[in-house]
Amino acid sequence: MDTKPFAQSCQRNRDPILAVLQPLLAGRRQVLEIGSGTGQHAVHFAAAMPQLVWQCSDHADHLPGMRLWLDEAALPNTPPPIALQAVPGHGLQPALAAGLFDAVFTANTLHIMGWEAVCALLDGVAALLPQGGVFAAYGPFKRDGRFTSDSNRDFDAWLKARDAASGIRDREAIDAQAAAHGLQRVHSHQLPANNELLVWQRGAGS
C-alpha cells in the first residue's frame, strides 16, 4: 500500500474531539487508541498533545495504511501501531500490561462491533486502566433506548442491514456494563452531527 487511506469524517470531527480531549488528558502520560483506523486522528491528536505517548491499535489488516500516516508525520510520541482486538470472553487480545496506559480513547467503533465485542472491550479497558484512569468513547449513542435524531435512526438501520449484530448503542447499557468492571461515567459532551464523547473513570465514586 502506497496511498494513504482517508476518512472525511475524521477531518470533520477531529477538532471538536480535540477540544474535549485536551483538558481531559492534561496530566496523562500514555494513551491507547482502540480502533485507530486510518491513523488520521492519531497524528492530529499526538501533534497537538506532545506530552502524551499516543499508542495506535487496530485489527492487523488496518495497520499498513495507518503506518503511512504515522510514518509521514514522524512524530516522536507515536510508537509503531499494534494489532489488537476485542474478543468476547477474553477482553482485549493480545493482553497488554495493566497500568501501562492511564487513558484509553476510541472513536466510531462501538456501533460497528457486536454487543459481545463491546462488552469484551470494556472488560479489557478496565483491566488495563489504573485507579483514576479514563476511557473516552466518541460516536453516536442512544439515550434510554431512544435515538437522538432521525439521522441516527437511519444510520442505525443502515448498520443493521450491513451487519445485524452492529448498531448504535444505548449509553445507559454501556454504563451498566462499564460499572460492572469498575468504570463510572463522569462526563458527557455533546458534539456536532448528533455525536457525543462519553468519559468513564476507573474508581470514580468509590
3-state per-residue secondary structure call for 32-74: EEECCCCCHHHHHHHHHCCCCEEEEEECHHHHHHHHHHHHHHC
pLDDT in tens, the chain (206 residues): 578 999 999 999 999 999 999 999 999 999 999 999 999 999 999 999 999 999 999 999 999 999 999 999 999 999 999 999 999 999 999 999 998 999 999 999 999 999 999 999 999 999 999 999 999 999 999 999 999 999 999 999 999 999 999 999 999 999 999 999 999 999 999 999 999 999 999 987 65
In a domain, 110, yes or no: yes
Q: How many domains is the chain built from?
A: 1
**How close are the terminal C-alpha atoms of the chain, in Å?**
48
In a domain, 1, yes or no: no
User: Residue 26 sits in which domain range?
Assistant: 8-202
The model's pTM: 0.96
CATH code where residue 34 lies: 3.40.50.150
Peptide bond into 94 cis (omega under 30): yes
Q: Which residues neighbour 188 within 8 Å (Cβ) at sequence distance 6 or greater?
A: 171, 196, 197, 198, 199
